[in-house]
Amino acid sequence: MKIGVFGTGMVGNAIATKLVALGHDVKMGSRTADNAKAADWVKANGARASQGTFADAAAFGELLFNCTSGAQSLAVLQSAGAKAMAGKVLVDVSNPLDFSKGMPPSLTVCNTDSVAEQIQRAFPDTKVVKALNTTNANVMVNPSLLPGDHDMFVCGNDAGAKGKVTELLKGGFGWKTVHDLGGITSARAQEMFVVFWVHLYGALQTPMFNVHVVR
């Protein structure tokens, strides 16, 4: 499948690398067509890897991943263009972290709204699925780095889109347990979880952890 990954940071890199390893053709998008981090990624990942602007990645992908800074994601996707994203599934991995007042960060949107909802409202013809934002980038694409059973969460308004993303998370990325939290408003919970995640990170002094729901 052709997949567009918006983002040249560690999340975009980890997800794009995993997708190429799974046999997909991946275009990494950035503000500039010749972004140096994307160029390094292309060099390291062979013929299935390419780079371009956010608009190029949007036009290329049948499936899209938003791995950009949450506070900037709406602007990024607006630059990519609604037309190029229409009818496609967009996996939103972003967190709306605000580091402007230092650590710990606050959120640029929360409680009664979320980045994923903002995106879904701005792009009604795109099927937004919130996923993967609750773990470190390395764990996202390789859950077996941690011992035992631990969990991933998804939400979104389109059942078919959530089904496809869940299939990729389980069959491709190796997640055993994926909880469907419901419609896109549940992205508030997934995004606000990152505040708890940051405090756990501080307490544990490592990003290599996750949570498991027992009942």
Ligand X SMILES: NC(=O)c1ccc[n+]([C@@H]2O[C@H](COP(=O)([O-])OP(=O)(O)OC[C@H]3O[C@@H](n4cnc5c(N)ncnc54)[C@H](OP(=O)(O)O)[C@@H]3O)[C@@H](O)[C@H]2O)c1
* Positions in the binding site for ligand X (CB under 6 A): 7-12, 30-31, 35, 67-70, 72, 75-76, 93-95, 97, 133, 136-137
Please identify, using beta-carbon distances, which residue of 10 and 159 lies nearer to ligand X: 10
3-state secondary structure of 140: helix
Question: What is residue 55's DSSP assignment?
Answer: H
Cα–Cα distance for residue pair 51/207, rounded to 1 Å:
28
Burial class (CB in 10 A: 0-12, 13-18, 19+), 163: middle
Q: Nearer to ligand X by C-beta: 84 or 215? A: 84
Q: CA 161, CA 153: separation in Å to the nearest integer? A: 14
CB of 175 to ligand X, least distance (A): 14
CB of 12 vs ligand X, minimal distance in Å:
5
CA distances from 215 to 56, 170, 196, 212 (A): 45, 21, 21, 10
Question: What three-state secondary structure class fits 76?
Answer: helix
- The residue among 66 and 126 lying less far from ligand X, judged by its C-beta, is 66
CB-based contact 79:153 (threshold 8 Å): no
Q: How many CB atoms lie under 10 A from the CB of residue 121?
A: 12
Task: Compute the least distance from the CB of residue 124 to ligand X, in Å.
Answer: 22
| Least CB distance to ligand X at residue 70 (A) | 4
Q: How far apart are the first and last CA of the chain?
A: 37
Q: How far is the CB of 2 from ligand X (least distance, A)?
A: 19
Q: Report in angstroms how near the CB of residue 76 gets to ligand X at its nearest.
A: 5
- Taking the least distance from each CB to ligand X, the nearer of 160 and 212 is 212
**Which residue, 89 or 119, has its beta carbon nearer to ligand X?**
119
Our CB check for ligand X shows the closer of 205 and 214 to be 205
Q: In this chain, which residue has its C-beta nearest to ligand X?
A: 9
